[in-house]
Every structure is written in structure tokens, then in C-alpha cells.
Structure 1
Amino acid sequence: MGKKTKGKGARSALSVIILSLTLFWVFHLTSPDRGQTTPPGASSAGQVTAPAVAAAVPKKPESPAGVCPPFKLRDEQGQIIDPVHGINDKVPYSPRQTCGACHNYQLITEGFHFTQGKGEALPKEYGERYNWVLFPGNYGGNWCSPAPLYRQLAPKKNTNPRMIDMTSFDFVTASCGACHPGGGPLEYDRDGQRYDARMRDPATGFSPGGDNGLDGDYFKARWSDTGIIEADCLLCHMPEYNYKKRNDQLADLNFKWAATVGANFGTVIGKVAAGQQPEVAYNREAFDADGNVKLHLAPEPRNEACLNCHAKPGWKKRGAAFSPRTDVHLKAGMRCVDCHPAGSKATDPRIRGKEVHQIGKGDEPALFVRNDLDNTVRQCADCHISGYLNAPIAKHEGLPSLHLEKISCQACHIPHRMVKSAQVQVSDVFNTGPLISPPPKRIWTFYDPFLKYWNHYGELARFTFKDQPTDPFRPVLTWYKGKIYPVNRVHSAWPGFIEEGKPGLNQAFMKDTFLMWQQHRQNPALYPELALIRDDNGDNVPEVNRSEEIDAFLKSVKSYLTDTKFDLTGKTLVWVNNDRAYTSGTQWRTLPKSDFEASPYASVYKYSHGVAPARAALGAKGCADCHSKEAPWFTARILTYPFGEDGKPVTMSQADHLKYQTVPSDAEPWTYWTGIFFISLTIIVMVGLVGHMLLDAWRYYQGNGKGGDRD
């Protein structure tokens, strides 16, 4: 072949090589896996390989565990209960003696679900804020409601019965016992002694219903009649457990009989509350021919067991629906225990161990129980980086690394909520809404994310949790520990005290504010200043917001407390509105708080449930989902104070709250246009090379068709 032909062939071969390299580079640039590396312990297909699994498996194999064999029920003395043969069949069974015969009852009841803060030291910043707090959990500290003015645990030692609000005995009947699984503060007093045994001890001088030395565990208590509430294993591990019947027994003060009825082992005749001695009538069908109990046990609690306690408060605090309709994880069939493991199934060494019942927990700004166990729950990255159990691997093509460093997964993947939550709880007016129970909760008035009055307890009574109305809204975004999270920043207003020599605040008793309003409503001549508090914004609900209303409220509360001989020595009454403590309608001081809080005396709840599909996440439609003047990431109005002088909400922009100096323009950011430029350049180069190669080929074949060059 001639030299010219060889030169054309070489150029064509070079063009093919360049084109191949270009196509490889373009494919690599646009590939979904571009920039991704296979994480340690994961295969390229997203499967977890042996090293990752081995890291989570104990070095020593655990002893095999199986289903519980048929077993006898036992009473508090450890004596067998056998209704089939008429043996000891009038007494309630004891979970401690029955389940504890095979399982480590002591280890199990060390879990924070049982202790609920009892015995824990207060974090320094927590103790300096809340002067009424004794422990950091629902028992003695934090409130079940999103904001204060809930019942407070009495100190162990007291000198004035008027200053005792809720004792350990009252903790059971103040609706707390309805969700407490038993054990912990429902079994032992603050000295570590069993309540009923200590009350029966003649050396103490205690008597049922007596003053009992004004002891915060025994004042007016009836432990020797009611018995104590042992940790009820079946409450979580028996799918057919009857929570309502169990709680009915607690309301009747049949404490130690509640577990028997809840497990459907039998019925109880008699009520301690009525001065009767209860007696069990066992259900023979619950036992086999040998007198062993027949049970359906779930080694890992079903979702329904968790939701029995967490569904209702989750609705109030976070707008949680726990529904496949609102959460991709539940839609995929996942269970609570998949992300909140415990015992041998836990992955974090802090909570891992046979029969250890420290359930995996997150990191809530509002909660202080066992902070040392924060983030023992499975994190998003645990599954979506490794592909664990076929979880989709998160790729985030083109997203600058700064976003992943500063923005939580939830901020983009929970862009909206389908069910409203309580964004405001004021505890200073009387709520006349229907179906609010128990009555003292009528001084709680909730407002939703749209600042509309919300009768949460009425809806619970009428609709139940399964009939939650759909009220979509976008969460507030806030900085927490260096990342942006979607949260519910609760706002609050309530009566409290400044106490001499103490840095924080104390609160008035919930019952006092309720009784003050109740007496005024029955006789307007009592505490007449309350009549000045009216509806200023036309929503048919009165609110305290004007200076004269603040003065009227403070004067009325002080009068009631004085009339009822509440000890106000060393106390200055204040009306608290978010981060302000008002001593009068015109004088107030600012209370220190964190930026993520609306009030240092109301909760902040992170949103972690209700995850939307990836295609619905912020950024799925492009950068303009956030980076535009219309994007709520920057322009949404968030609440600063529930009511201004005119009764209308005081708001600020989301950008101001996040401390952004500028708001992005409508245009896409430079990173977007840079990507567009290089993709366009690649396409142009590729088209040019293809054209050049085709032109070369055409010329080559044209030359061959004419005989080409000759020697």
C-alpha cells in the first residue's frame, strides 16, 4: 500500500483510539457510580462482605437460645400457680418470679425504659434550668407534654404537705403508669427498698393513705394494699396483650393484679380503690393439662407493642404517623427493632449483650435520659452507604461535599410532614374544647404549625391514632451539633417562679392553675381579673399577650396561691413566654437558651420518621429546590413568638434563623453551570471526533474506489 494510504489508515486508527477513550471518559463522567467507592465491608454490588459482618459478631459464640418451654406461673413468693389443679389459684402471678426463673430480671430492668431517669445524675445545664427536676426522665424530671406545667415529683423529704404535688405513688395514677412497663420507680423507692414491704414494716410507722412523714414516696400512698408493679415482660413480648384491661386495673389501684389481667390469664374481682381485696379467677383455657401457661411470645416486639406507648405522644410532639403511607421504611416492611435494636441484636457495643434491654436510641435535643447512649440507634449511613440488607446506596451525584457535611439526611429526605404536631403549648388559659381528659389538661392549649388552635386530646378521643387527619406542612430547619435538622421547635407560655439563690426557674403546680380557672368559671367574682383575658386575634380562643392581660394573669395566680397557703417565700412569680420571664406586663428578663430552641422551657423534637422516597427529597428536581428565592429552605416564615401585642404571631425568615447572610438567586449555582459546561464540551468534542472519523473514512474509501495512489 502507498505511503499516503498508510498515513490515512494511521490517522483513522488514531481517531478510533481517541473516540474510544472519549467514550470511556464520558461514560465514567455520567455513570451513576461515578465518584463512588466501595465502602469497607461492602461488595461492588452493594452486598455486605464477610469482614463487615464479622465486625458486628461477638468474638465468643453465645449459648443457643430458643423458644420458652411450657412453664408454670409463680406468685410473689415464688410459689407455683396451677389453676388446672386448683393450686394457689386466687393470687396474681409475679413477672419477676415467673420470667425471672429463666431470665436475668435485674439486668433487664436496668434498661432506661424501666428506670425512666430514676437514679441518674442531672446534666449540669439541665439542672441549672429546671429547679423542679430531680431526675432527667419522665420520673422526676422531663415532662410528657411538649412544654412545662406538668405534674412534678415531690422531693424525698418534705416539711409542708401543701408543697407536695406528685408522689411516686401518684406517678402511677397520673397517667404515667399507663405506658410505664413496670419495674424501676414502680417497684422500688428512692432508697432502693420495695414499696409494699417497707410500708408493711412496723418499724417505719407507715400506714396506707397516711402522711407517712411527708415522704415523697409514701405520702398518702397505699402500697401495702395495691402492691407494686413489677416489670411486665409480656407487655412487649405478647402480641395479644390487652393494654386497656391492664390500665383499667391500675386505675382501680389493683397494681399487682394488672399484669395477670393484661396477659389475659384471668379476670379480677374486687378493687383496692373501693376498699376491697381483689381475687383472681384464672382462665383455664390459658393453661395446658399440666397447668403450664400457653403463650404466644414474640422474641422481638412487634411494631404495635412500641406504638402502644409511642404513637399518641409521637403524634402530639412530631406529627408522627408511623404509617406505610408516610414512611418508606414502614412501606418496605421494616420493624421498629430493625433500627432500634437491643440485646444480642444490637450493633453498638454500648448496648449489646444477651438480655440487655437498653434499646437503641437517637440524640434528641429535648431528652436527657441516658445521654451516654445517644446514637446507639442505626444511623442512615449504616445501611445506605454499605447497602446493608439490600438498602439503596446513596450516591448524591454532583452534590458538593459541604452539603453532606453540614446537612443531615433528614433535612432533605423529610421535606414535609403529613400529620400536624403541636408547635405551641400555652398553659395559662382554660381550654373549653370537647373531650379533654383528664380535666387538668384543660389548661393546655395547643396550636398547630399553622398557628391554628388544635384540640389534640379531643381528636385522640374521637378519631384515635389511626384516624389522623392529613395536614401537610414543612418542618422548621435548625442547626444542632453542627448539622441542619428538620425539627419541631415548641413554643410555650406558663406561670413560674424565680427563686432566690437559684439560676433557673420553678413552675407552679399544674393543679393550681387549673383550680384557679375552674373556680373563676364557677364564680366570676373569684379572681375577677381573669375576665380581662380575651381573644385578640379572632380565632375564638383567648390568649395572654397584651400587657394588661399579663398583669391580670400574674395577679390572679398570686392571689390563688396565697389563698391556698402555697409557700411563696423567696419566690417571685413570673409569666414565661418562650425566652422571656415577665414580672409584670411591661417588665421582663431574657432567659438564656440555645439557638435551636424557641424556649429553654419547651422541647425541640427532631424528625427522623416519615421519610419520603428519594425522588421526593429536596434536590431531586435540581438545585432550585433549595437555591432559589421561592425555596422554603430560605424564605419560609418560622415562629418567634406565638402572639404579639395584637394577638398575631411574630415570625422570622428561615434564612435568618439559620444565620445565612444572603439568599441565593433564582439562577442555578456555579457548580451546576460548571457541570453543564463540561458535559456540553464533552458532547461537542465527541461529535467533532465522530465527524472527523467519518470524514477520514469517506476519504479513505473514496481513494480506494479510484485505485488509490500507485508506486
Structure 2
Amino acid sequence: MIRLQFLWAILWMVFPASLIGQDSSNQSPWKRTGSPETYIHQIELRDSRGQVISPDDPSGLQPDMAATCAPCHDVQSASGGLHGGQGTDGPNGEPWFLIDSRSGSRWPFHSRSWPGFLSTKDLGLTQDDLRKSHGSFDPGGSHSISGQNSDCLICHLSGEYQFEKRDRLIRQGKTELAPFVAAGLIDSSGKMPSHRYDTSAKVTLNLKADAGPSACLHCHSVKPAGFAESRPNWTHAEDVHLAAGMSCVDCHRSGIDHHIVRGKDGESHPSGVSVESLSCRGCHLPAGEVVMHSAPRPEHRGLPPFHIESMTCTACHSGSHPDQQGHKIWTSRAHQLGIAKQGRSSTDAPAIYSDIIAKDDQNRWAPHYQAWPEGWIRIADGDQPATAIPPSDLRTPLRRILRVRSHLLEKISSTTESPDKAERSLSAFLGQLDPPAALVTAGQAWEKAPGDLLKPIDPTLDQALAKPVDWKIGHPVRPAAMSLGINGCSDCHSTESAWPMLNSHPNPFIPITSANAGVHTKNNPDNDHPTFDSNLWNFWKVLFSGRDLAKFYFGGCAFLALLASLNMLFRSWDRSGS
């Protein structure tokens, strides 16, 4: 009997404890303030084992970002999401570019399976290669292209992050230290400056969920290429949303999972939450709903509705100024903006052209950036498609055949005495490659021709690798006063208008002087565009110039016809009355 009572006593103590355990398991272990106010972080740095590091610790422990943030934040979830390389591919975004001066290769690639983009495997790139060449502009994550761990500070530390220090450390192979050095938490030797820490080894950081546009612009800036060559930088208008005091994350939002909203029409968010209100149309043209946050609702007076149905908002409101269509631009990732560099030029690779009009994934006309791949390919053979030759595979033959050690174009550059030296050199190089190869440049694949010249390869062969890659323009957004159409229909519908520009026309990276090849240096002329009838469009532009006159003419004809009809009606009444 005593044993039975003892058993009941044990069960009585365990049962409530189990209930408490179930209740607590439903509570998040992560800390939240519940307030919109910025929480001033006072934290210790921790090594990969979670051990606190002190400035006067002689052991030389190195800080770890995940372990430092883990006591309060779900770092596993935060390291993923669309920003960390996870999630569905969706429509094309900006590619990474492999720029290899030794082989002259300039290939667009990405870890996502986007049409026209090569993969890291196609180009033989290792994680170490990617960290050194692209790691500075990759914030890291569980599926990041460089394989780096997440750098929380680059996005969330307001005004104190030195991007150039990050770049220098990553190029030295010190990727784990780079965030802490860039934030001034340790020096480049790994020592902690004692003046930054209090007596309990804590440092005060102004970390924010939204650290402002400058945090995003480290990796997402776009500038007109060679702005100093054309007009001063200060004459370029700022994005209308930033000028109004908005921040990037007002539209490009996410939770701790970092599934950042891209802001595209018809976007499907991995969370299942509707994000339509965070697109241009959802914010400014909501169907039967109030616009978001007092956003202006456009009137579009005189604009036929089919423009709204068949074109994106960005077709008129985004990208370069209308008189700059088709000009080259620089981007942070492709041209390392934000890193001090002398001698920037509009000829710097890769060549990216702005405001190329193409259909998007919603079958609407939209402005795109466009870039053309350049490099070396194995020519298609039977059922085997053409494949890119990784630059690493070209080093030995380039050194053996052309004596190229660092820069192909400098080695083979033509001279006044020998204007076709470059073409002959590359033709000779192609002649010694096995299996047969071709050079891709200016939207065309070239192979060896008789007489050490180059000729276009058979047009029936696979040339997909020579085609341009496109991705939609989102920013900068121009206000109505600077949009297409502000001067009336003639902004687009006139013989003087350059709109739409359907393809850019790059030059080959070497002069190709072959008499039978020169006509091919402009690929895909506008009148051969697969989804746009340029001949009909140009005919319509000519007719449109007389649109106002036609209105008066046909209006006058209608008025005269009305008078004639009334006259006949009155005369018929007179006859019937008589």
C-alpha cells in the first residue's frame, strides 16, 4: 500500500511537469523586444564553440558570426531564404560574371537554373575561386554561390561597416574574419581593440532590421558607365522612392527566413503569404482597394488601357533617362562598385546595356539589362550541344601556342603594321585545338577560316551560348515628370523616337577584318526580333505623326456627313409636308 501511494506521488509530480514542458515547447526560444524601436545590442563575441572571447584573452580565439548571434537569433533560418540562395528560381535576376583576362572569357553564370546562364560547374569554378573573385559581394548563406557563412553585419550594421576592408580580407582568404574586421570589432591580425569593449567583454552595436538603403547598395548599385565621360554624377536623378524617404525594405520585405520579396507582378512567395501589394501594381493600382501608404494613384489621362495590360510599369518609369537608352551601365557585382579603383572606363568588362525592351514572365513588355557572353566553346557535334570551355582548361594551350601568361588581348593586340594580327593569332590558336572549338564574341561564334582568318560557324549548329542574357530593370524608378509619355504620345510614337530598343549591338573584343565576316558583327537586327514586328511598328510610327491631322480630317468629314444627313432629313420633311 505504501508503495502504491509512493507511485501516485511520483505521477502527481511528473504530470504537471509534463504539461509545463508541453506549454513551453510552443514558445519561441528566440528573443524579441516586441517594439519597433531599435534595440541597442550589447553582446560578446563568441568562437565557433560558443565560448565568449575577451580582448585580453591570450589564447587567440577567432570570432564566429553564427555563434555570436545564436544566443538570441535563429541563425539557421536566417542563413537561408531567397537572399541566401534558397527557394524557387523565379524569373531571371542579375548574373555573376566570370572575367578572365588571360583567356578573354566573360561568361554570365549563376547557381540558379536561369535560361542562358552557365553554372559554376560549366565553368570549372571551385568554391575557393568563387570566394576570391565574387565573395566580396556575396553576403553568404546556406546556399550562397561562394559558400561563405552569412555576414549579418554587412546588412544590419548601420553606418559603421567598411566594405573595402571586407573585400581585402576575403581576397586574402580570411573570409571568417572579414565581417568583424569590416565592422571594426577586430583588427586584421585578429586582435580585439580593447577600447571597443566594456569590462564584461561586451561591445555596443547599432544593429537594425533596416539599416537603410546604403546597406543594400553595397551589392545592388547601378551607375551609368563612364559617367565622368558624359555628364557629372550629381546630375543623375535618384530613385523616386529613396528621394521620398523610403527604404529598400519598405517593398523588399522578409522575415527571419530572409525570403526577400522581389516586388514583381504575380510573385509567389515561399511562405504562401500574398505579396501582391508590394509590387508596383499592387501598391499604385490595386483593384478596388485603397493604395498603400498614401502612394499616388496614377491617372494615365489619355493613355489607352492596352498599354497598362501589355506593358509593365517599369517600361515607362524605370531605368535610364529616355535619351540614354541602350547605354552601358556598371553594377556593383559586375564592376566592383564601392571599391576604390583608378581608371574606371565605359569599356570595362563586362559590357551591360540598359533599357532593352523584351517580354517578361508575365508576357508584358518590360525594360531589361542585356549582356553578351564572350569566350571559347566546343562546337556542337551531332546530339552533343556546344559547351563552354572553362578558362582553366585554356591556360596551358594559350601559354604553349600564343605565349599568353596574363592578358590575351595585350599579347595579341593588332598594330598599325599588322592590323589583323589579333584575328590571325586566334585563328591559329583555334586550328590547334582538338576537338574543334570556336570563339564567341559579339553574339556570334567564329571558327578558323582559310588564310588564318575567322568566319562564322555554320548557322545550323547550336549557338545558344552566343546569345545575350537579359534580366528585368527594377530601379531607379523615375517620377511621372521624367517618365516616357510625359511629352505626349510622340515620346514613343514618332520617327525621331528610339523607343523601343530591342537589342544592343556590341563590338567583338578583337577587330575581325575578314571580308566575309564583317557583316555578321551585328547579331539579331531589330527587324528579326522573334516577338516584335519592327516593320509594322515603324510603319505605325510614320502614320502616327499625322494622327492629330487625321483626327481633324476625319472629324471634319464626320461633321460634314452629319450636316449632309440633317440637310437630307429636313428636305425629306419638307417634301412630305408639301
- Shorter-chain TM band: 0.5 to 0.7
Paired with 1:107 and 1:646, the residues of 2 have a C-alpha distance of 54
Paired with 2:224 and 2:138, the residues of 1 have a C-alpha distance of 16
Q: Which amino acid aligns with 1:497?
A: R
In the TM superposition, residue 99 of structure 1 has moved relative to its aligned partner by 0.5
In the TM superposition, residue 609 of structure 1 has moved relative to its aligned partner by 1.2
Counterpart mapping for 1:49-88 below 5 A = 64=34, 67=39, 69-83=41-55, 86-87=56-57
Cα 1:590–1:404, aligned 2, differ >3 Å: closer, same or farther? farther
Counterpart mapping for 1:301-450 below 5 A = 301-311=211-221, 325-343=237-255, 355-361=256-262, 378-385=278-285, 386-414=290-318, 416-417=320-321
Q: Does 1:91 align with 2:61?
A: yes
In the TM superposition, residue 251 of structure 1 has moved relative to its aligned partner by 2.5
Paired with 2:146 and 2:304, the residues of 1 have a C-alpha distance of 54
2:126 corresponds in structure 1 to 167
2:197 corresponds in structure 1 to 287
Of structures 1 and 2, the larger Rg is shown by: 1
SS of the equivalent of 1:76 reads: coil
SS of the equivalent of 1:106 reads: helix
Q: Residue 89 of structure 1 contacts residue 282 of structure 1 at CA under 8 Å; is this kept in 2?
A: no
Q: Does 1:179 align with 2:56?
A: no
In the TM superposition, residue 592 of structure 1 has moved relative to its aligned partner by 7.0
C-alpha RMSD over aligned residues: 5.1
Cα 1:620–1:238, aligned 2, differ >3 Å: closer, same or farther? same
Cα 1:541–1:180, aligned 2, differ >3 Å: closer, same or farther? farther
1:256 corresponds in structure 2 to 176
Paired with 1:293 and 1:577, the residues of 2 have a C-alpha distance of 52
In the TM superposition, residue 413 of structure 1 has moved relative to its aligned partner by 2.2
Paired with 2:521 and 2:415, the residues of 1 have a C-alpha distance of 14
2:22 corresponds in structure 1 to none
**Residue from 458, 462, 471 that aligns with 1:588:** 458
In structure 1, stretches of 5+ residues that fail to align are 1-61, 124-135, 156-163, 190-228, 270-279, 344-354, 424-447, 563-567, 682-711
Q: Residue 414 of structure 1 contacts residue 612 of structure 1 at CA under 8 Å; is this kept in 2?
A: yes
Cα 1:237–1:342, aligned 2, differ >3 Å: closer, same or farther? same
Paired with 1:480 and 1:503, the residues of 2 have a C-alpha distance of 30
1:556 corresponds in structure 2 to 429
Cα 1:672–1:302, aligned 2, differ >3 Å: closer, same or farther? farther
Cα 1:653–1:557, aligned 2, differ >3 Å: closer, same or farther? closer
SS of the equivalent of 2:468 reads: coil
Deviations 1:356-392 (Å, cap 9, x if unpaired)?
201122569xxxx99x999879321232224422322
Q: Residue 185 of structure 2 contacts residue 192 of structure 2 at CA under 8 Å; is this kept in 1?
A: yes
Paired with 2:129 and 2:216, the residues of 1 have a C-alpha distance of 24
In the TM superposition, residue 666 of structure 1 has moved relative to its aligned partner by 4.4
Q: Which amino acid aligns with 1:167?
A: T
Q: Which amino acid aligns with 2:142?
A: G
Cα 1:409–1:231, aligned 2, differ >3 Å: closer, same or farther? same
Cα 1:406–1:188, aligned 2, differ >3 Å: closer, same or farther? closer
Cα 1:257–1:362, aligned 2, differ >3 Å: closer, same or farther? same
Q: Which amino acid aligns with 2:151?
A: D
**Residue from 508, 522, 532 that aligns with 1:650:** 522
**Residue from 152, 158, 180 that aligns with 1:233:** 152
2:78 corresponds in structure 1 to 108
Cα 1:519–1:313, aligned 2, differ >3 Å: closer, same or farther? farther
Q: Residue 172 of structure 1 contacts residue 250 of structure 1 at CA under 8 Å; is this kept in 2?
A: yes
2:551 corresponds in structure 1 to 673
Deviations 1:471-502 (Å, cap 9, x if unpaired)?
xx983322334221222332344211146576
SS of the equivalent of 1:308 reads: helix
Cα 1:287–1:411, aligned 2, differ >3 Å: closer, same or farther? same
Deviations 1:126-176 (Å, cap 9, x if unpaired)?
xxxxxxxxxx97448779xx987xxx7459xxxxxxxx9432233212x22
Q: Residue 354 of structure 2 contacts residue 370 of structure 2 at CA under 8 Å; is this kept in 1?
A: no
In the TM superposition, residue 298 of structure 1 has moved relative to its aligned partner by 1.9
Q: Residue 147 of structure 1 contacts residue 601 of structure 1 at CA under 8 Å; is this kept in 2?
A: no
2:162 corresponds in structure 1 to 242
Deviations 1:612-652 (Å, cap 9, x if unpaired)?
33123222222222222222226x68545746834795377
**Residue from 477, 484, 489 that aligns with 1:611:** 477
In the TM superposition, residue 394 of structure 1 has moved relative to its aligned partner by 0.7
Q: Which amino acid aligns with 2:429?
A: S
Q: Does 1:510 align with 2:388?
A: no
In the TM superposition, residue 462 of structure 1 has moved relative to its aligned partner by 2.0
Q: Residue 478 of structure 1 contacts residue 485 of structure 1 at CA under 8 Å; is this kept in 2?
A: yes
Cα 1:616–1:253, aligned 2, differ >3 Å: closer, same or farther? closer
1:208 corresponds in structure 2 to none
Counterpart mapping for 1:610-629 below 5 A = 610-629=476-495
In the TM superposition, residue 121 of structure 1 has moved relative to its aligned partner by 8.8
SS of the equivalent of 2:387 reads: strand
Paired residue total: 461
Q: Residue 354 of structure 2 contacts residue 369 of structure 2 at CA under 8 Å; is this kept in 1?
A: no
Cα 1:646–1:184, aligned 2, differ >3 Å: closer, same or farther? same
In the TM superposition, residue 76 of structure 1 has moved relative to its aligned partner by 0.7
Q: Residue 243 of structure 1 contacts residue 262 of structure 1 at CA under 8 Å; is this kept in 2?
A: yes
In the TM superposition, residue 310 of structure 1 has moved relative to its aligned partner by 2.3
Q: Which amino acid aligns with 1:76?
A: S
Paired with 1:397 and 1:233, the residues of 2 have a C-alpha distance of 46
SS of the equivalent of 2:173 reads: coil
SS of the equivalent of 1:574 reads: strand
SS of the equivalent of 2:369 reads: strand
Deviations 1:450-472 (Å, cap 9, x if unpaired)?
9xxxx97899722679xx9xxxx
1:477 corresponds in structure 2 to 357
Cα 1:394–1:463, aligned 2, differ >3 Å: closer, same or farther? farther
Paired with 2:209 and 2:261, the residues of 1 have a C-alpha distance of 16
SS of the equivalent of 1:589 reads: coil
Q: Which amino acid aligns with 1:383?
A: C
SS of the equivalent of 2:176 reads: helix
TM-score by length of 1: 0.53
Cα 1:507–1:332, aligned 2, differ >3 Å: closer, same or farther? same
